[in-house]
Amino acid sequence: MKPVATYSKPPELYDGLRLHQNEQTGGCSPRVLEALARLRADQISVYPPYSTALAACAADLGLTEDRLVLVNGMDEGILALAVSYLQRGLDGAAAEVVIPQPAFEVFEVNADLMSARVVAVPPRPDFAFALEEVLAAITPRTRAVILTNPNNPTGVSVPLAAIRQIARAVPPSAIVLVDEAYIHFGGETFVPELEAYPQVVVGRTFSKAYGLAGLRIGLLAGHPETLLPMRRVVPVYSINVAAAVAIVAALDDREYVKDYVRQVTESRALFYDACRRWGVHYWPSAANFVLARTGDRTARVLERALERGIYLRDRSNEPGCAGCVRVTTGLVEHTRRAIAAMEEVLCAAP
Ligand SMILES: *Cc1c(COP(=O)(O)O)cnc(C)c1O
């Protein structure tokens, strides 16, 4: 029997500087804490209303509310997609899901859950989006194409023109998911094009730019009919009242996100400079992390960083990522600490 894909959750490391899961290491906006503190006992004892949260998200994205589904983190959105779109056909044939590599591991885990066939499109050496290869992988059995823009773990963007071409190439019953978990840091959103491309669904999370990973909230945006099968999977009260209140406050504090994005931009530049100094190859990133090829020094880099209380992510086992480490480049102060720790290994030896 084929081995089952399972997600290997990173160990629970919370004592040091977490630069391995691309969270906002500076925390959420203080306005979120104020909003949570204002929650009353009688708001917690009842099933939560979502109208205010939905209105805030709709206004933020410039969409009507019928084009949104709130989910308990994008992870739940991905699960809902798998459950609704990756079922076996009536003839018993497995659904096919096209996933350009390297990719966020959860996609494959959920596809496997549905016994779908993952059509993994290998990466190009520079991680430029492999459009022709993705188009060639689409068949009449394709039920979903899953893209992440900008991609995780590479930070490389997917051109909007490529997404349009893929959307036109999939069978009518298929869906194209554009996971925009990191779109705030430099990518170009597909949201304004959803009207023209009803087969595309955009996924967003409040875990990265907004610093709400602990509250678990994200959303799916797309045509109401395309969303319907996924809406049916998501439990009616999947979003808790704290998350519903928090996103309204988070969306309201534009300056907080703007400052974080500014720091990410500065952090990436600092990290690129360091890589050039070390002679380490890196991929220019549109996200809040950078992938760098530390080669045979990767294990020592990870170890030294850990000794300094800094967690980095080993991505060596991902397709095309041999000898690569992924470093969250968030607050400048934290990026400087990561660079200092890595420098101890990377400057010492050729
Ligand atoms: C972090 C991440 C997610 C998960 O988002 P949650 O809302 O925290 O579940 C989804 N997709 C990608 C590509 C991510 O990196």
Residue nearest to atom 12 of ligand 1 (CA): 181
Residue nearest to atom 10 of ligand 1 (CA): 74
To which residue do tokens 């997600």 refer? 7
Query: Does any ligand 1 atom lie closer than 6 A to the CB of residue 213?
Result: yes
Q: Read off the amino acid at residue 265.
A: T
H/E segment holding residue 286: none
Nearest CA among 104, 212, 85 for reference residue 149? 104
Query: Does any ligand 1 atom lie closer than 6 A to the CB of residue 180?
Result: no
**What per-residue confidence (pLDDT) applies to 2?**
57
Domain boundaries, the chain: 17-25+255-345, 30-252
What CATH number was assigned to the domain covering residues 17-25+255-345? Answer: 3.90.1150.10
What CATH number was assigned to the domain covering residues 30-252? Answer: 3.40.640.10
Cα 24 to averaged position of ligand 1 atoms, centre (Å) = 13
Q: How far apart are CA 57 and CA 38, in angstroms?
A: 21
Query: Does any ligand 1 atom lie closer than 6 A to the CB of residue 207?
Result: yes
**What per-residue confidence (pLDDT) applies to 121?**
98
202 phi, psi to nearest 5 deg: -100, 135
Q: pLDDT by residue for the chain (350 residues), tens digit each?
A: 456 677 777 777 888 999 999 999 999 999 999 999 999 999 999 999 999 999 999 999 999 999 999 999 999 999 999 999 999 988 899 999 999 999 999 999 999 999 999 999 999 999 999 999 999 999 999 999 999 999 999 999 999 999 999 999 999 999 999 999 999 999 899 999 999 999 999 999 999 999 999 999 999 999 999 999 999 999 999 999 999 999 999 999 999 999 999 999 999 999 999 999 999 999 999 999 999 999 999 999 999 999 999 999 999 999 999 999 999 999 999 999 999 999 999 986 55
* DSSP states along 208-236: STT--GGG--EEEES-HHHHHHHHHHS-T
Query: Does any ligand 1 atom lie closer than 6 A to the CB of residue 179?
Result: yes
**What per-residue confidence (pLDDT) applies to 216?**
98
